[in-house]
Amino acid sequence: MDSCQALRNFKPAKPFFAGLDSDGCVFDTMEIKHKECFAPMLVKHFHLQAASKYARAAWEFVNLYSKSRGCNRFQALSLTFNLLRARPEVLARGVAVPDGAHLAEWLARESRPSNDTLTAEVKAGNKALASILDWSHAVNASIEDIVHGVPPFPLVRECLEKLTAQADAIVISQTPAAALRREWAEHKIDPFIQLIAGQEMGTKTEHLKFAAAGKYPRENILMIGDAPGDLKAARSNGVLFYPVVPHHEEQSWQYLLEEGLPRFFAGKFAGEFEHRLAAEFEASLPADPPWTTRPV
């Protein structure tokens, strides 16, 4: 069965549509998930104890503090391995960083990297990726164990109430769907959305394409996100984008409530307003890690 079928079957009930990212956008969960769950499992499962501070720094840069923020976990793992193999301090300690070749090869041909597709790959005989699957399962278990009681950012609920008065809304994320369902239900905001699309349903670009493109006027479709991948998904589909800027999340939600949503519903979002927000967002995240750009 096509994993995107639920998106393809999605039917408009209201004149507007919004896709919302979850981690780091609706919920302040990016820091706790990556620092307390992903990074520790990275060190443990890939035997990086002797370079733990560099492994943590690389993982946090890739996932929190750079233009790759919010990317798929397996793509993030590949990027992290690349950064670690290039870092002199790691090489000087004789740490054996995984070469990542099998992971990179799988990512090059797998359009929907997820636990499900990786499980199928390992069962088909690609045992070189078994350790990565083990790591991913361990991350999920750690998140389920640790990440609780983290509410939505202030004013998210008010924005959802205002938004969904006129717009259909779905979650668009690269987080596994089970975690998304658990978090939205825990804080009782799941009634605001019609569908949860996690990594199992493909990329964010595909989520927007299948759920909304061609079903609503493009100027009536809004992607709300905190990562460059959210902006890319919007631009790839020719729809509008509103950024929740990292480290300025509260101000971003207040501005959406007071200025963004009124403009969206009035047809005054596109143009100079959107371009200014996108430019400020893109400038907020660097491309290169600080350890490669500091003066000697």
Q: Do 92 and 172 share a domain, yes or no? A: no
Collect contacts of 56-59 with beta carbons under 8 A, ≥24 apart. 57/289, 57/291, 58/83, 58/84, 58/87, 58/289, 59/34
What pLDDT, in 10s, does the model give residues 76-97?
999 999 999 999 999 999 999 9
pTM of the predicted model, to two decimals?
0.88
Residue span of the structural domain in which 172 resides = 5-29+152-283
Q: Do 159 and 265 share a domain, yes or no? A: yes
**Strand pairing partners for 197?**
172
Q: What is the C-alpha to C-alpha distance for residues 171 and 225, in angstroms, rounded to an integer?
A: 10
- For residue 225, being part of any structural domain is answered with yes
Q: Do 86 and 175 share a domain, yes or no? A: no
Final residue in a domain of this structure, among 146, 167, 187: 146
| Token code pair at residue 174 | 């690269």
The DSSP line for 198-221 is: -GGG--HHHHHHHHTBTTB-GGGE
pLDDT confidence of residue 296: 41
CB 35, CB 65: distance < 8 Å:
no
Q: Do 203 and 71 share a domain, yes or no? A: no
Which residues in the chain come in under a pLDDT of 50? 295-296
CATH code at position 238: 3.40.50.1000
Final residue in a domain of this structure, among 113, 146, 179: 146
- For residue 295, being part of any structural domain is answered with no
Average pLDDT, the chain: 95
